């Protein structure tokens, strides 16, 4: 059962994850490290979140990763990620990876066979362009339709048309819906795959994963008893803890940093 965390309070779940020998903190970006904004490419992590990430990275055996549905190209832009960054990235819902010291990893796994990304784009763009406030997002393995600037009526209509298109011509592509976004991918990986990859790559004894959307529940459901899931905002969740917004994520990270630093003294 998910319980609400009150900022500033000591919680046994936070203490447990803060004292694990080798900790990976994995954060969704949009709605978790960054507030949701009308222009998806304008998203940036809150300064308070970045401050706590810097504190955590400075601690021994403490690794940070952003785990997002964004393609690796776009994820590196919005996270302001440089080639010498100590922060790992998992993009495209766990189909792409970038690791400190080694850089971008070659994709593994297989794609759906029915149709190419370019074919989908060519068919979907004219539909999306007819709807005021709907935006097309190219992705490495597919596409997204954003409706943060659209009315609910427009969102329902454009999503229905895109759903019909993909159902007819790209039936094996994976569909995902989230906060004012509909996505399709020729790859089947989800954020559950990202948890497994990060755990293995960093030899983690515990993972703290935080996310705010439906797709983040793929990761929440595969967390181990030694891990901690944190849901940002409302909605049913498999997470242990809930916070209200990205500002409280910064406060939660501060609590983890303080307890982890104290345990290392």
Q: 114 pLDDT exceeds 70?
A: no
**The model's pTM:** 0.87
Do residue 129 and residue 87 come from a single domain? no
Confidence (pLDDT) at 222: 98
Q: 115 pLDDT exceeds 90?
A: no
Q: How many domains does the chain have?
A: 2
Confidence (pLDDT) at 178: 86
CB 208 within 8 A of CB 183: no
Confidence (pLDDT) at 84: 97
Phi then psi for residue 52, to 5 deg, are -70, -35
Mean pLDDT of 192-200: 97
The residue with tokens 């447990």 is: 16
SS3 state of residue 136: strand
DSSP letters, 152-168, are HHHHHHHHHHHHHHHHH
**Rounded CA gap, 96 and 251, in Å?**
29
Among residues 185, 210, 228, the one where a domain terminates is 185
pLDDT digits (tens, 9 = 90+) for 230-249: 999 999 999 999 999 999 99
Confidence (pLDDT) at 193: 94
Mean pLDDT of 172-189: 91
Give residue 111's pLDDT band: very low, low, confident or very high (50, 70, 90). low
Confidence (pLDDT) at 83: 96
Confidence (pLDDT) at 109: 65
**Rounded CA gap, 249 and 49, in Å?**
7
Do residue 14 and residue 95 come from a single domain? yes
Do residue 101 and residue 196 come from a single domain? yes
Beta strands in 84-190, from DSSP E residues, in sequence order? 88-91, 96-99, 103-104, 135-139, 142-146, 174-178, 181-185
Question: Of 22, 96, 104, which Cα lies nearest the Cα of 62?
Answer: 22
Confidence (pLDDT) at 110: 63
The residue with tokens 């998806």 is: 40
Q: How does strand 142-146 pair with strand 135-139?
A: antiparallel
Among residues 166, 185, 204, the one where a domain terminates is 185
Mean pLDDT of 135-150: 94
Q: Which residues of 42-60 are buried (b: 16+ CB within 10 A; e: fewer)?
A: ebbbbebbeebbebbbebe
Do residue 100 and residue 200 come from a single domain? yes
Do residue 65 and residue 181 come from a single domain? no
Domain of 164?
117-185
Do residue 103 and residue 143 come from a single domain? no
Do residue 162 and residue 194 come from a single domain? no
pLDDT digits (tens, 9 = 90+) for 150-160: 999 999 999 99
CATH of residue 145's domain is: 3.30.70
The residue with tokens 């810097």 is: 54
Do residue 8 and residue 72 come from a single domain? yes
Confidence (pLDDT) at 197: 96
Do residue 210 and residue 100 come from a single domain? yes
**Rounded CA gap, 23 and 202, in Å?**
9
pLDDT digits (tens, 9 = 90+) for 11-69: 999 999 999 999 999 999 999 999 999 898 999 999 999 999 999 999 999 999 999 99
pLDDT digits (tens, 9 = 90+) for 14-27: 999 999 999 999 99
Do residue 145 and residue 212 come from a single domain? no
Sign of the CA dihedral 87, 177, 146, 233?
negative
**Rounded CA gap, 237 and 213, in Å?**
9
Q: 122 pLDDT exceeds 70?
A: yes
Among residues 156, 185, 214, the one where a domain terminates is 185
Do residue 211 and residue 80 come from a single domain? yes
Chain-wide mean pLDDT for the chain? 94
CATH of residue 196's domain is: 3.40.50.1000
Q: Residues near 115 by Cβ (< 8 Å), separated by ≥ 6?
A: 169, 170, 173
Lowest average pLDDT, out of 13-17, 133-137, 138-142, 229-233, goes to 138-142
Do residue 201 and residue 253 come from a single domain? yes
């Amino acid at each position: 059962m998910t319980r609400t965390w009150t900022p500033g309070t000591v919680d046994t779940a936070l203490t447990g994850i803060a004292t694990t020998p080798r900790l990976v903190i994995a954060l969704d970006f949009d709605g978790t490290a960054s507030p949701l904004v009308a222009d998806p490419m304008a998203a940036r992590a809150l300064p308070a979140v970045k401050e706590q990430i810097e504190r955590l990275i400075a601690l021994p055996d403490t690794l940070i990763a952003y785990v997002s549905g964004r393609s690796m190209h776009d994820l590196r832009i919005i996270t302001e990620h440089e080639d010498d960054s100590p922060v790992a990235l998992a993009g495209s819902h766990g189909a792409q990876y970038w690791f400190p010291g080694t850089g971008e990893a070659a994709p593994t796994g297989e794609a759906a066979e029915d149709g190419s990304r370019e074919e989908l784009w060519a068919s979907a763009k004219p539909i999306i362009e007819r709807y005021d406030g709907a935006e097309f997002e190219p992705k490495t393995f597919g596409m997204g339709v954003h409706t943060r600037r659209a009315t609910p009526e427009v969102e329902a209509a454009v999503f229905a048309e895109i759903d019909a298109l993909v159902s007819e011509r790209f039936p094996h592509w994976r569909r995902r819906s989230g906060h004012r976004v509909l996505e399709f991918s020729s790859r089947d990986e989800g954020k559950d795959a990202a948890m497994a990859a990060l755990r293995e790559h960093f030899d983690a004894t515990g993972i703290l994963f935080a996310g705010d959307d439906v797709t983040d529940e793929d990761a929440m459901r595969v967390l181990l008893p030694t891990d901690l899931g944190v849901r940002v905002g409302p909605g049913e969740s498999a997470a242990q803890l809930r916070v209200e917004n990205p500002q409280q994520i910064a406060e939660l990270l501060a609590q983890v940093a303080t307890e982890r630093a104290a345990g290392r003294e």
